[in-house]
Amino acid sequence: MNENLTADRPTFVTHLECSLTGEHYAADQLHNLSRAGRPLLVRYDLDAVRAALPRDTLAARATDLWRWRELLPVRATRNIVSLGEIETPLIPLPLSAGPNVWVKDEGRLPTGSFKARGLVMAVAMAKELGVTRIAMPTNGNAGAALAAYATRVGIETIVFCPDDTPEVNVREIAAQGARVWRVNGLIDDCGAIVAKGTAEGRWFDFSTLKEPYRIEGKKTMGLELVAQLGWRLPKAIFYPTGGGTGLIGMWKAFDELEALGWTGAERPRMYAVQASGCAPIVRAFEAGEEHAERWEDAQTVAAGIRVPRAVGDFLILRAVRASGGKALAVGDPAILKAVDDAARRDGLLLCPEGGATLAAYRQALRDGEVDEDEEVVLFNCATGLKYPLPAAEQRLDRHGVIDFDAL
């Protein structure tokens, strides 16, 4: 077993903090949103972390998610749950993007998506805090990750998904032990069902950002990225943004790394990428608003970013603006072309949401938002094998005359 999962180490959580008002909440207690109705952020004694954990010590550990133990909220080692959360690789895209563009391929994680990061942490904390039944809305991959981890620790799980969720995701959720229900609506309609059941005391609400710990799991993307780049940051990050937990988490990670003295004050420009058929963050960014109104009639091939309303909208917008980045929308044709180009030219099968980041990078390059000599990281949030692929119907009759030149 990995040493990172068995060795007892101190944890450094001090309290939780309302992301809007700064109000403090006690750690080691079960919370959903703050009294202001906004996400809670986990805070650490970073001075104590710095004293206890030299960077060289961390760098010598096995490169998995749990190497960051001192910057994660789980107190007791016995409550850690794992399906093998590896450090995901940085893959170059020289032909479809350029020599300075890298894809952090999150499809290599358990259950095939970056949702594993957030849900492994949230489930570990649910176990630690005594939760026995969970419900959550999903567009697919989050439900699959929740089902896998919750089943592993014996927590009962109910998942609600839009009725057009990719079939592979629905079956994956069911196969891994959760009860999954298709709903005639979008993900926020599913969330309303979860909220009603929560109000009736039926389960604990695991909706995006409605518990504090998915952010902590997702922030490991930023921690990992900095370590992979030799303790520096890229010039720009393009992130597929629905609920935006990962973007918020990475921004938090960069602040924590600076406080530890492991990096400087530099930050990458953060580009929140949405589909033009569901772009509430883009609309709010362009209007100079701090909150995003619900996007009506949301439609896109990139189901993972089809989120009409995000509870952490202001956190996404603050990070994008503070970084000098932008919220960008790309159309489905550009998304599908990017997926096709990356596969045919560079051999990397992106999911549609990952394709959206490549499409957005190309758009930003044309518009002068980025330079081709800048180091850029795109996030591919899931394996492309989970999504419908173009038909390949060519057949050969072995009994007939074979035209080898035509092959």
pLDDT in tens, 110-129: 999 999 999 999 999 999 99
DSSP 8-state code for residue 342: H
pLDDT 10s digits, 60-74: 999 999 999 999 999
CATH class, range 115-205: alpha beta
pLDDT 10s digits, 331-389: 999 999 999 999 999 999 999 999 999 999 999 999 999 999 999 999 999 999 998 88
Phi, psi dihedral angles at 24 (to 5 degrees): -90, 145
- Say whether pLDDT at 7 is over 60: no
Mean of the pLDDT values across residues 242-266? 96
Q: What is the pLDDT of residue 6?
A: 52
Q: What is the pLDDT of residue 4?
A: 56
Instruction: Sketch the domain layout of the chain as residue ranges.
Output: 3-65, 90-113+213-386, 115-205
- The label of the residue with tokens 């002068």 reads 368
Element (H, E) at 281: helix 280-287
Q: What is the pLDDT of residue 8?
A: 56
> Is residue 272 packed enough to be buried (19+ CB in 10 Å), middle (13-18) or exposed (0-12)?
buried
Q: What is the pLDDT of residue 1?
A: 47
CA dist list (Å): 20 to 35, 85, 175, 241: 10, 31, 39, 20
Q: What is the pLDDT of residue 109?
A: 98
Which tokens in the block code for residue 13? 């959580």
Least confident of 9-13, 140-144, 298-302, 379-383: 9-13
> Is residue 85 packed enough to be buried (19+ CB in 10 Å), middle (13-18) or exposed (0-12)?
buried
Q: What is the pLDDT of residue 11?
A: 79
The average confidence (pLDDT) of the chain is: 95
Q: Do 90-113+213-386 and 115-205 show the same overall fold?
A: yes
Mean of the pLDDT values across residues 298-306? 94
312: Cβ contacts below 8 Å, ≥ 6 apart? 19, 38, 39, 208, 209, 243, 244, 245, 248
Cα 237 to Cα 256: distance, rounded to the nearest angstrom: 18
Cα 400 to Cα 389: distance, rounded to the nearest angstrom: 29
Which tokens in the block code for residue 35? 């009294």
In the chain, what is the straight-line distance between the N-terminal and C-terminal CA atoms, in Å?
Answer: 49
Mean of the pLDDT values across residues 132-144? 95
Mean of the pLDDT values across residues 153-172? 95
Q: pLDDT exceeding 90 applies to what percent of the chain?
A: 95
- Whole-prediction pTM value? 0.94
Cα 16 to Cα 43: distance, rounded to the nearest angstrom: 6
Contact yes or no for 178/159 (Cβ under 8 A): yes
The CATH number that domain 90-113+213-386 falls under is 3.40.50.1100
- Say whether pLDDT at 315 is over 50: yes
Q: pLDDT class for 9, splitting at 50, 70, 90?
A: low
Q: What is the pLDDT of residue 330?
A: 98
* Residue 156, number of CB atoms within 10 A of its CB: 15
